[in-house]
A and B are shown apart, each in its own frame.
Chain A
Amino acid sequence: MGGTRRTRSLIRVAILLLLSHVGTARVSSLFTATDTPTVSSFVGAMFSPNVAPTVQARRQGANVELSWSVVRLGTRVAGYMVWRIDGSTWTQICLGADAPVTTAGTVTCRDRRAAQGGSPTFLYSVQPVHMVGTSVTWSLSPGMPQPVG
């Protein structure tokens, strides 16, 4: 009697093992392979420093000489928009032949039409930008307007 039970149990175990093996065969029925290369990454540049520098304006004869610290944009040097502020009118200056020049960490440019008789009452501000062609893409807010010192 006990022997019969043992035999039946063994048969059940054998059937279960067989079924589990069949299941495994079904899961791995397709040959597949996967390869994941390292991820590619992209990071946008940042202005450094991330606030516009304060411009220094000094009268020199009929002109006003402007200077400020270099601003970088990632590994590149930023461009600049330089503003003469007369009341509520902002006029871009330092264009063309008078474009800003960078020398050892300092950027300079000249406002040639500043002093047309008397002491100039204008304010000046610099805005770091990135330009593509003639279009501004990324920029910082203009620096605090400064009087001629």
Chain B
Amino acid sequence: MLKKQSFRKWVPSLAGVLALGAVGISVTSSLFSDTQTGVANTFEAGTVEVGVGSTTRVCTVSDMLPGDSSSSYGSGSQSLLPCVYDVVYTGTSTAWLAVDIAVTGGPPALYTGDSSGLQLKLDANGSTTFVSGTSYTAVNGSPTNITSGSTIRNLLVSATPATKDTSVLFNVNYLLPTLAPNALQGASASVTLTFHAVQSANQPIGSCVAGRQCNSITWS
């Protein structure tokens, strides 16, 4: 009887002790602590962007006569303005730059692909020459004729990759030679230049040379 009574007395006390213990544990676990959040690692892809700047002058040359030429052709009247393309590379990744050229026209075609029709000179910054007369430089360094209607692709602009805000001035100078026959009266030609860029990272230049066609780079 006595044992039962004393157990009943102890039960609340025991519960109280356990409750206090729990509080104690709780207090024990509230340690001073601090967490420092490190700067997040970010992985941002670079960009490859190419555009045409404000000083670009696309040519619309009408009424050409034999002997007419633009200022830097080197022969002829040198009285006309050259076509100028101010190409700006604005990507954040370094990149290879190239230019494609296509000559079309006619009928009758002012560009004949020989010395009697329209002659062209395409250069970058007045130094790297891509087209002279009617030919470009192939991968192996040999002058190769540009035929009307075909596109010459991937003429490498520089052996050094372009960085952000690199500007390249492409000049197209032209001449209608005095050899031009009467059949070219009223004839027409169009020159289309396409500028493109591809990342240079993980893309070795191989044996490519500036001014020549370059096929060892994967351009697209």
Contacts and interface: CB of A to CB of B under 8 A. Distances in A.
B64 A42 contact: yes
Given A33-B197, A42-B191, A137 B180 contact: yes
Contact of A35 (B87, B182, B186): B87
Interface string B203-220: 100000000000000111
Contacts of A20: none
Interface in A5-42: 30-42
A124 interface: no
A133 B49 CA distance: 49
A44 B188 contact: yes
B65 A130 contact: yes
B176 interface: yes
A47 B51 CA distance: 40
A27 B198 CA distance: 14
B41 to A, nearest CB: 21
Interface in A66-125: 73-76
Given A30-B220, A46-B185, A137-B180, A74 B63 contact: yes
Nearest to B46: A31
Given A37-B56, A37-B58, A45 B67 contact: no
B64 A45 contact: yes
Given A32-B197, A33-B48, A39-B191, A137 B110 contact: no
A107 B174 CA distance: 33
Contact of B190 (A35, A39, A135): A39
Given A30-B220, A37-B56, A43 B195 contact: no
B87 A137 contact: no
Contacts of B203: 30
A39 B56 CA distance: 12
B191 A138 contact: no
Contacts of A130: 65-66
B56 A41 contact: no
Interface of B: 45-52, 56, 58-67, 83, 85, 87, 91, 93, 95, 105, 110-111, 118, 172, 174, 176, 178, 180, 182, 184-199, 203, 218-220
Q: Which 8 pairs across A and B sit closest by C-beta, in order of nearness? A: A74-B63, A137-B66, A40-B59, A45-B63, A31-B48, A132-B67, A46-B186, A34-B196
Given A40-B58, A41-B60, 12 more contacts: A30-B198, A32-B48, A32-B196, A35-B87, A40-B83, A41-B191, A42-B190, A43-B188, A44-B110, A45-B62, A135-B178, A138-B66
20 contacts: A30-B220, A31-B95, A33-B196, A33-B198, A34-B50, A34-B197, A36-B195, A37-B52, A39-B192, A40-B59, A41-B189, A41-B191, A43-B186, A44-B63, A46-B185, A74-B65, A76-B65, A132-B66, A137-B180, A138-B180
